[in-house]
Amino acid sequence: METPEFYCPTCAKPVPDPLVCGDCRAVICRTCGTPLERIDDLGIG
């Protein structure tokens, strides 16, 4: 299983399959639409 690279602060869980905006390349949560944070940046991965 692949380790998730992104974390959703709203859902409070890792996101293994985020959506990427085709225009601005933002990475967002499939569940709530919140912009995601890289797990590496949070220090929890």
Instruction: Say how many C-beta atoms besides its own lie within 10 A of residue 4's C-beta.
Output: 16
Among 45, 24, 4, which residue's Cα sits nearest to residue 35? Answer: 24
Per-residue confidence (pLDDT) for residue 44, from 0 to 100:
59
Instruction: Show the low-confidence residues of the chain (pLDDT under 50).
Output: none
Continuous H helices in 1-45: 39-42
Flag whether the pTM goes above 0.75.
yes
